[in-house]
Amino acid sequence: MDISDWRKKIDELDRKLVDLLSQRAQAAHEIGKLKRTAGMPIYEPDRERNVFSNVQSINPGPLPDRDLLRIFERIMDIMRGIQQQEIAPDAAAASGGDTELDNDVND
């Protein structure tokens, strides 16, 4: 395969990642509703440790575990923001809700 073929492959994978992240965000939103009803906190460190442990245990590489965990730390942070919007929308709006994007990121 040449670089064009690999880039097409990356574009296809990106579409799948967006779909999966959207599904995960929907699940986080629904969990936020349940947490609001139950009076549960948004941040649950034990749950996050379980998620990190789970993704590490299924990581086939070549992505190093430390990098995979950095990605999932960011995903979890964003999902907490989604739950915050469900539980306390005024507080979430006051925090800005913006995320930083690295302009230097390529494929």
What is the domain partition of the chain in residue ranges? 21-88
Alpha helix segments (H runs only) across the chain:
3-38, 45-57, 65-87, 89-94
Q: List the chain pLDDT tens, one digit each, 107 residues.
A: 999 999 999 999 999 999 999 999 999 999 999 999 999 999 999 999 999 999 999 999 999 999 999 999 999 999 999 998 877 766 555 655 544 444 444 44
Q: What is the pTM of this model?
A: 0.78
Those residues with Cβ within 8 angstroms of residue 75's Cβ, 6 or more apart along the chain or in another chain: 21, 24
Query: Which pLDDT does position 88 carry in this prediction?
Result: 72
At 85 the pLDDT is 85
- 19, 77, 12, 80: which is closest to 69 by C-alpha? 77
Name the class of domain 21-88.
mainly alpha
Residue 102 confidence (pLDDT)? 47
CA distances from 55 to 10, 46, 59, 77, 90 (A): 21, 14, 6, 16, 33
- Rounded CA-CA distance 56/49 in Å is 11
Predicted local confidence at residue 91, as pLDDT: 59
Which pLDDT does position 105 carry in this prediction?
43
